[in-house]
C-alpha cells in the first residue's frame, strides 16, 4: 500500500490543529464553530479538493469509471497505485450495524455489538438538539473503533401517514423539526471525522412499491414539506453524502432526477458532497452521472462502469462530468483516510447516554389524578410481555445488535417499587390468550395501581412493508380493557414505532408513550414512571382519532405505482388545523410532573433586514425542576394563497428550577414568513399581517402577537377549501382538483405491455415464461431466507416489488445488467410464442 497521498506539511498541521481544537464540538451557545478555525477548515477543504483533482488527472478512463461503483456490499473501491484505500460504509441510523466477518452480498447477516440508541421516532420527541448531537458524536466514536468511514443515516423522510412501515426511522411530520434533529445528529457524527448519508432523497414516505413507485407531488408541497429538511441539513451540517431514494419523483427516478439532484441540491443549496444510490436503486447509469449522482452501491457493478467508459468514448458523456464526480469521490476517500481508526469507545457511557436521551424523549400523554409518578409505599401490578422483553427498535436493515438490553422488571427492582408481574399476552402475532388475561386480572385486583406494557410487536412494522391499519394487536387491547374492569387505576406504557388507535384511552388514567427506546428502553421507562426523570418529551407527530381522519387516507400505499400526494402541503397538524378536525393527541403535546406559565412575549423585527426574534418569559410554577419546549408557530389569516392556519417556525427547550423564570429567544428570518412561489421558482414573502403564536403544543396557544411584514403583493390564488375537498369527513381531492393545483397534467407512468428492466419481479413470475426463467432465483431466495426473522420478512416483502434491474444486488456479482436484459428478451419472446 502506498503512503497516504496527503503529504502536505501545511495540510497535516491544519488537520492536527482542527483535531486538537475539536472545532465541531458542541458549544453552549449552539452548534457553532470559531470563525478563525472555520477559515482553517475551509482552507483544508480547498487543499484536499486540489489534491483530489491532481489524483484524478493521473487516472485512466477505466480507473475513473471503476470508482463510481462499490467494491462489494459495504465498501467503496480504492486505487492502490495512487494510495487510495477502500473505505467502509455501514447501516445506521440509530446505531452502528457493521456486519461481522466478511460482508455477504445481501448485507443481512449478523453485525458487531454496538449501542442501540433511541430510534428517531423517539429521539425526535426530545426536541433537544444537544441530545441528538450527543447521540451522533457517540455513533461517530463507534464508527472510529470499527473502521467505518460513513454511517448510512439519518433518515429524515416526512411522516406522511402513520401507516408507513419505516416511520420508526424518521423524525417527524414537520419539516423544520425533522431538519433540526437531522442537522444536530449529522454534526455530531461528523465531529468525529466520520461521514453521514442523509436519506432517502426524496419523497420516499411509504414502503409499498417503494422500489418503482412514482411520487407525484405539486412543486410547492415538494419544496415546503418534502425537501426542506434536506435543505436545512445540507446548508447547516454539510453531510459527506446524501442517499437517493428508490422511487420516482414526478416521473423520474431519484437516482437520475435532474430537478432534485442538480437544480435543488447542487445549484441552489450548494451541496459539495457525493450522492449515493440506495442499495440497488440505479436505473440509467450515464443519466445519473449527468444528473449529479456519483456512487452506485452495492458493487461490483462492472457492467455499468463499462457503460460510463463507452459513453465517454462515444461522446455521450463529457469526461469533465466524470472527472468532477470522481474528484468528489476521491476527496471523500482522502477525508476518510485522515480519520484515525481503532480508538476504543466507552460502552458503559454510551449506554448511559442512550438511557438519558430515551428518558428525555418519552411523552407523558395523560396523567389524571396525578397517578404518576409511582409511589414507593404503593403496590402495583406490572402486566404485559413488553415489560420483560421490551420492543426497543424497528425491524429491517436498521436493526442493531446491542451490547445489552434493559428490561423494566429489573429497573423496578432497582427503584424499590413493590410490584407483581403477569405476562398478559404472548409475544408476536399470537391471538388473545384467555388464561393469560385471567392471570393478569387476578394480579391487578386489589393493587394500588396497574401498569400495562403494550404496543406493536416487530411483526407489525418494518422496512419493506407498510401497516394496513392503526390497530394494536387484539391481545394487547383485550388485556388493557379487561384489566380496566377490575382496577380503575390504570397506567399504559406504549411501545410502538408509529401512532396507534387507543379505543381504551378514556379508561386509562396515565399513558406514557415510550415509542421504541433503544437498548435502555426498559430502564428509561421506569426512570420516567418513578419520577427519577421528569418527563419532557413532546409529540413530533399527531395522534389522530381514526385512520380515516388522516390526510393521505385515500392515496397511501395502494398497489398502484403512481402515488398521488393529493393532500399537497396539508400534512400532519397542518391538515388537522386546516380541516378543524379533532385529534386524540396533538402535535407538540406532552405533559410534565411540574407546570409552566408563559408570562410575556416580546417581538423584535427588522423588516428591512428580514431578521428578528421572539422573546418569551417562562416560569416553572410547580414544585420540582422540569424542562419545557416552547414552540413558535406563524400563520396568516388573510392570505391569498392556500395555507395551513399555522406552521412551526422555531422552538427551544429549557430546564427551569421550581419558582424560577427564564427568558428564551427564538430567532426569525426571511424563511419564517416565506412560501415557495411556483410562478417565480423561488421563495417569496406575501406582504401583509402575520400572527405569531407561542405555544405549548399546536393546540395549546399561550401567547399571540401580530406583525406586518413587507413582501410581494399576491393576487388571490386558487387552492383547496375544506368545503370543496372534504366529503363524508374524509379528505377526498379529485384528480381534476389535484391537476389544477399541480399546474397541469400529472406525470402518470403508464404500465408497459412488455417486460423491461423496471418490471417488477412479482409481476414477471406470474407469467409462465417468467416463472420458468426465474425458478432458480425463487428457489435460491426461499432457501436463503428460510429463517422467519426480521430481515428475511423484509427481503421477502421487497421481492415482489423488486425491479428486474435490481436482481444484480441479490446475485452478488454473478448476474449483470446485460445478462438480465438477455433474460428479459427471452421472456418477451416466450410471451409472443
Peptide bond into 154 cis (omega under 30): yes
Residue that is written with C-alpha cell 478555525 in the block: 37
Mapped onto helix, strand or coil, the DSSP state of residue 241 is strand
Give one DSSP letter per residue of 570-629, joined into a string. --THHHHHHTT---SB-TT--B-SS-EEEEEEEEEEETTTTEEEEEEEEEE-SSS-EEEE
Peptide bond into 565 cis (omega under 30): no
Angle formed by the axes of helices 347-361 and 129-146, to 10°?
A: 150
Edge-first strand order for the sheet with 363-367 is 363-367, 510-513, 490-495, 449-455, 379-383, 418-422
Helix (H) or strand (E) holding 195: strand 195-201
Are residues 276 and 266 in contact, defined by beta-carbon separation less than 8 angstroms? Answer: no
- Distance separating alpha carbons of residues 437 and 424, to the nearest angstrom: 5
- Nearest 5°: the CA angle 817, 820, 825 is 125
- Distance separating alpha carbons of residues 449 and 432, to the nearest angstrom: 23
Are residues 509 and 458 in contact, defined by beta-carbon separation less than 8 angstroms? Answer: no
- Distance separating alpha carbons of residues 105 and 806, to the nearest angstrom: 13
Mapped onto helix, strand or coil, the DSSP state of residue 91 is strand
Catalytic residue among 174, 218, 278, 283: 278
Torsion, Cα 64 66 70 72, to 10 degrees, reads: -150
Q: Which three cell numbers stand for residue 382?
A: 406490572
Are residues 206 and 466 in contact, defined by beta-carbon separation less than 8 angstroms? Answer: yes
Q: E strands of 263-324, at which residues?
A: 274-277
Residue 624 CB-density burial (10 A; 0-12 exposed, 13-18 middle, 19+ buried):
middle
Q: How many residues does the chain have?
A: 833
Q: Which three cell numbers stand for residue 815?
A: 448476474
Are residues 383 and 453 in contact, defined by beta-carbon separation less than 8 angstroms? Answer: yes
- Nearest 5°: the CA angle 747, 752, 758 is 85
278 has catalytic annotation:
yes
Between the alpha carbon of residue 359 and those of residues 125, 206, 348, 398, 531, the distances in Å are 10, 29, 17, 21, 10
| Strand partners for 726 | 731
- Distance separating alpha carbons of residues 51 and 36, to the nearest angstrom: 23
- Distance separating alpha carbons of residues 212 and 50, to the nearest angstrom: 39
- Distance separating alpha carbons of residues 455 and 486, to the nearest angstrom: 21
- Distance separating alpha carbons of residues 715 and 286, to the nearest angstrom: 43
The catalytic residue positions are 278
Amino acid at each position: 500500500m502506498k503512503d497516504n497521498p496527503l503529504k502536505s506539511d501545511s495540510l497535516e498541521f491544519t488537520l492536527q490543529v482542527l483535531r486538537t481544537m475539536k472545532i465541531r464540538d458542541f458549544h453552549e451557545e449552539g452548534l457553532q464553530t470559531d470563525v478563525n478555525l472555520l477559515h482553517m477548515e475551509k482552507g483544508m477543504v480547498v487543499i484536499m479538493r486540489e489534491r483530489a483533482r491532481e489524483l484524478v488527472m493521473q487516472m485512466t478512463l477505466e480507473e475513473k469509471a471503476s470508482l463510481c461503483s462499490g467494491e462489494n456490499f459495504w465498501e467503496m473501491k480504492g486505487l492502490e497505485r495512487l494510495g487510495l484505500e477502500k473505505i467502509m460504509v455501514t447501516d445506521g441510523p440509530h446505531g452502528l450495524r457493521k456486519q461481522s466477518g466478511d460482508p455477504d452480498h445481501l448485507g443481512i447477516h449478523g453485525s458487531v455489538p454496538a449501542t442501540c440508541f433511541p430510534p428517531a421516532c423517539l429521539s425526535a420527541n426530545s426536541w433537544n438538539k444537544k441530545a441528538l448531537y450527543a447521540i451522533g458524536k457517540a455513533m461517530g466514536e463507534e464508527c472510529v473503533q470499527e473502521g467505518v468511514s460513513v454511517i448510512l443515516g439519518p433518515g429524515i423522510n416526512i411522516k406522511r401517514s402513520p401507516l408507513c412501515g419505516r416511520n420508526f426511522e424518521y423524525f417527524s411530520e414537520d419539516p423544520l423539526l425533522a431538519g433540526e434533529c437531522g442537522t444536530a445528529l449529522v454534526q455530531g457524527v461528523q465531529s468525529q471525522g466520520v461521514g453521514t448519508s442523509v436519506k432517502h432523497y426524496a419523497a420516499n414516505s411509504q414502503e409499498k412499491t417503494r422500489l418503482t413507485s412514482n411520487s407525484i407531488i405539486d412543486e410547492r408541497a415538494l419544496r415546503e414539506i418534502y425537501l426542506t429538511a434536506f435543505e436545512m441539513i445540507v446548508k447547516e451540517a454539510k453531510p459527506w453524502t446524501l442517499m437517493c431514494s428508490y422511487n420516482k419523483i414526478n416521473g423520474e427516478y431519484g437516482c437520475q432526477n435532474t430537478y432534485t439532484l442538480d437544480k435543488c441540491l447542487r445549484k441552489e443549496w450548494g451541496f459539495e458532497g457525493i450522492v449515493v444510490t440506495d442499495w440497488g436503486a440505479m436505473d440509467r447509469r450515464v443519466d445519473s452521472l449527468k444528473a449529479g449522482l456519483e456512487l452506485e452501491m452495492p458493487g461490483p457493478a462492472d457492467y455499468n462502469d463499462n457503460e460510463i467508459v463507452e459513453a465517454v468514448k462515444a461522446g455521450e458523456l463529457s469526461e469533465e462530468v466524470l472527472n468532477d464526480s470522481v474528484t468528489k469521490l476521491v476527496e471523500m476517500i482522502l477525508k476518510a483516510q485522515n480519520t484515525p481508526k481503532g480508538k476504543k469507545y466507552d460502552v458503559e457511557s454510551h449506554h448511559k447516554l442512550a438511557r438519558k436521551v430515551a428518558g428525555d424523549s418519552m411523552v407523558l400523554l395523560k396523567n389524571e389524578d396525578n397517578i404518576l409518578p409511582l409511589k414507593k409505599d404503593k403496590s402495583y401490578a406490572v402486566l404485559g410481555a413488553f415489560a420483560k422483553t421490551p420492543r426497543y427498535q424497528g425491524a429491517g436493515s436498521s436493526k442493531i445488535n446491542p451490547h445489552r438490553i434493559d428490561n423494566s422488571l429489573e429497573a423496578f427492582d432497582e427503584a424499590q417499587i413493590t410490584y407483581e408481574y403477569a405476562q398478559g399476552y404472548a409475544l408476536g402475532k399470537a391471538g388473545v390468550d384467555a388464561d393469560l388475561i385471567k392471570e393478569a386480572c387476578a394480579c391487578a385486583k386489589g393493587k394500588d395501581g396497574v401498569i400495562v406494557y403494550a404496543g406493536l410487536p416487530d411483526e407489525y412494522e418494518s422496512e419493506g412493508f407498510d401497516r394496513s391499519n392503526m390497530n394494536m394487536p387484539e391481545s394487547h387491547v383485550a388485556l388493557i380493557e379487561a384489566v380496566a374492569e377490575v382496577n380503575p387505576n390504570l397506567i399504559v406504557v406504549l411501545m410502538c414505532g408509529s401512532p396507534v388507535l387507543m379505543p381504551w384511552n378514556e379508561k386509562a388514567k396515565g399513558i406514557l408513550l415510550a415509542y421504541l427506546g433503544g437498548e435502555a428502553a426498559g430502564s428509561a421507562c421506569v426512570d420516567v414512571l418513578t419520577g427519577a426523570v421528569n418527563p419532557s418529551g413532546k409529540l413530533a407527530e399527531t395522534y389522530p382519532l381514526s385512520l380515516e381522519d388522516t390526510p393521505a387516507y385515500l392515496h397511501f400505499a395502494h398497489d398502484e405505482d403512481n402515488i398521488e400526494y393529493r393532500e399537497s402541503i396539508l400534512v400532519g397538524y397542518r391538515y388537522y388545523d386546516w380541516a378543524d378536525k379533532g385529534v386524540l393527541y396533538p402535535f407538540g403535546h406532552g405533559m410534565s410532573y411540574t407546570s409552566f406559565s408563559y408570562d410575556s412575549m416580546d417581538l423584535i423585527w427588522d423588516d428591512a433586514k428580514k431578521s428578528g426574534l421572539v422573546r418569551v418569559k417562562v416560569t416553572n410554577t410547580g414544585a420540582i425542576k422540569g424542562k419545557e419546549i416552547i414552540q413558535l408557530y406563524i400563520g396568516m389569516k388573510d392570505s391569498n394563497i392556500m395555507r395551513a392556519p399555522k406552521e412551526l417556525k422555531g422552538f427551544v427547550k429549557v430546564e427551569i428550577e421550581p419558582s424560577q423564570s427564564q427568558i428564551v429567544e427564538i430567532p426569525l428570518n426571511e424563511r419564517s414568513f416565506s412560501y415557495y412561489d411556483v410562478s417565480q421558482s423561488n421563495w417569496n414573502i406575501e406582504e401583509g399581517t402575520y400572527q405569531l403564536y407561542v405555544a405549548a403544543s399546536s393546540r395549546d396557544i399561550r401567547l399571540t402577537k401580530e406583525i406586518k411584514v413587507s413582501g410581494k403583493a399576491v393576487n388571490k390564488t386558487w387552492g383547496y377549501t375544506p368545503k370543496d375537498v372534504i366529503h363524508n369527513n374524509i379528505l377526498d381531492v379529485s384528480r381534476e382538483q389535484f391537476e389544477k393545483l399541480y399546474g397541469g397534467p400529472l406525470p402518470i407512468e403508464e404500465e408497459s405491455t412488455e417486460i423491461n428492466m423496471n418490471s417488477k419481479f412479482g409481476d414477471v413470475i406470474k407469467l409462465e415464461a417468467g416463472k420458468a426463467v426465474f425458478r432458480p432465483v425463487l428457489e435460491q431466495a426461499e432457501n436463503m431466507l428460510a429463517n422467519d426473522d426480521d430481515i428475511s420478512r423484509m427481503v421477502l416483502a421487497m421481492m415482489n416489488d423488486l425491479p428486474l434491474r435490481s436482481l444484480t444486488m441479490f446475485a452478488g456479482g454473478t448476474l449483470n445488467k446485460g445478462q438480465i436484459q438477455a433474460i428479459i428478451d427471452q421472456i418477451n419472446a416466450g410471451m409472443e410464442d
